[in-house]
Amino acid sequence: MSFKNNHKTVLNKVFLIFICAALISAPACSSAPSLQKYSAAFTDVFDTVTEFTAYCDSQSKFDTVSAELHAELLRLHKLYDIYNEYGGTVNLAYLNRVCGEGPVEVGEEILSLLKEGVSWYRLTNGRMNIFAGSVLSLWHECRENGEGIPTEEELFEASKHVSCESVVIDGKTVHFTDKELKIDAGALAKGHAYHSVSLLLRDLGVTDYLLNLGGNVTAEGNKPDGKWKIGVQDPDGNGLYTTVKASGVSVVTSGDYQRYYEYDGQKYHHIIDLDTLYPAAAYRSVTVICRNSWDADALSTALFLLSVEEGERLLKQYEAEALWIKADGVAVRSEGFSKYE
């Protein structure tokens, strides 16, 4: 059998391209067009690359803001890490190891993420499921090793341990009644991380900026000549499929070209349909535009796993818009998506 590993990071293949720069408002930075553009990139958070761009009147002012931003992202990376534990931190990896043994007290950020995970599970009848780590880890291991696919027996056995009904949240404690249940919060973590980061930037007096958290792009405020333009990639790699104008919104894409590997001539990407236990096959990509970053993050995954009709009903609940590119290349836009193009 032939094998080729084409694992792609979110930055490499989801990247929603920065066409314009972000701005930070006075006193540290402002939207005055005479100021200089400064950028920073971090490669050690959320297994991807984060880009932050601003116009400031000095490198030192920008460096102060970006250093605090980086420190907060590192904290959040550790908090939502499902693979590594860190001494003194009750993170997702720690919960996956001990929550099956009894109740564990967690912080507000983890508590909020888990409660939202339960809500999305029920809202989508289990299709968008952050408690399906037992299944997702099988595919992750194959993708990381660059070989093989999980067996039908392995997938079927793992699928018995994905119910949110096994997650007991009581006050500030969490307990898994199913010891084999595992969290994989990839569909929510970066959206939740951005929420914390946005509060930090607000406290630093930053009101005009563009932040690309591994393909989750958020544009706040304005730049000298108006809104930012964010490119949405063609799933086939032929440059941009379209460009959207953004201000005060998040733009998030889920796609089959982001994280994948090829084995025996077949491509296997990272978004798993729990009905089939295999990578979802209906779409090449789904792009969501939404005011709230954590809703945009969750919606892009949920819509990838639902029919267009089901997705449109969800969009109305969240006052969001979407672009679906189907497996056959046909594009479907929600009613209000084109107003951003």
Helix, strand, or coil (residue 238): coil
From CA 272, how far away is CA 274, in angstroms rounded? 6
Place of tokens 């701005």: 23
DSSP letter, residue 82: S
Q: 3-79+196-340: which CATH architecture?
A: Roll (3.10)
pLDDT given for residue 205 in this prediction: 79
pLDDT given for residue 323 in this prediction: 98
From CA 158, how far away is CA 88, in angstroms rounded? 30
Mean pLDDT, range 135-144, rounded to an integer: 96
Question: How do the domains of the chain map onto residue ranges?
Answer: 3-79+196-340, 92-176
Asked whether the predicted pLDDT for residue 1 surpasses 70, the reply is: no
Q: Are 73 and 45 in contact (CB under 8 A)?
A: yes
Asked whether the predicted pLDDT for residue 224 surpasses 80, the reply is: no
Q: Which residue has the higher pLDDT, 38 or 261?
A: 261
pLDDT given for residue 34 in this prediction: 62
Residues contacting residue 215 through CB under 8 Å, at least 6 positions apart: 10, 11, 14, 15, 16, 48, 252, 253, 258
Please write the tens of the pLDDT for every residue from 43-57.
Answer: 999 999 999 987 777
Position 35 confidence tier, pLDDT thresholds 50, 70, 90: low
Asked whether the predicted pLDDT for residue 2 surpasses 90, the reply is: no
Ranges assigned E (strand) in 171-233: 173-176, 209-213, 216-220, 228-233
Which CATH number is associated with domain 92-176? 1.10.3980.10
pLDDT given for residue 33 in this prediction: 57
Mean pLDDT, range 291-318, rounded to an integer: 96
Position 197 confidence tier, pLDDT thresholds 50, 70, 90: very high
